Amino acid sequence: MYPEANIPVLQLSIDYNNGPQYHYDLSKELLGLRKKGVLIIGSGNMVHNLRMIAWDKMDEPSFGFDWALQLNEKFKQLIQDGDTKPLINYGSLGDQAGLAIPTPEHYLPLIYTLGLQTARDPVSFFNDKAVMGSITMTSVRIG
């Protein structure tokens, strides 16, 4: 991505023993690095349920179950509004959140990126599509 290696990149592991609030708070501590030009990338999926993949829909572009599409839109709206509390406490978003995030390791990178956002940062979305019913590939750009 940067062949001259002129942009510092930070890689973190997820501490599976701690919840989303811990990861959000930790990311706030990293904001100083971002301000110094360190590129921080969170990789994962907002909606990620491998147990419910519709294998018969692999060749159908942008196929998502209703609950996956609805929650993906809810996540995007909350991110756009800067409303991180329900995203951190995603269990409060109802049964759809349990379907979308059966395990947190693919969701927690989003929490890190949200913790690095400042009030002045624009937010945009790309690669915004569902695949195989129960996964959304929606990506968020902050800043």
Q: Write the pLDDT tens digit of every residue in 56-109.
A: 999 998 899 999 999 999 999 999 999 999 999 999 999 999 999 999 988 998
For residue 54, pLDDT over 90 is answered with yes
* CATH number belonging to the domain at 20-142, selected among 2.60.120.10, 3.40.50.720, 3.40.630.40, 3.40.830.10: 3.40.830.10
Mean pLDDT along residues 37-55: 87
**pLDDT tens string 19-31:** 999 999 998 998 8
Task: State the pLDDT confidence band at 50, using cuts at 50, 70 and 90.
Answer: very high
Residue 53 near residue 68 (C-beta atoms within 8 A): no
What is this structure's pTM?
A: 0.87
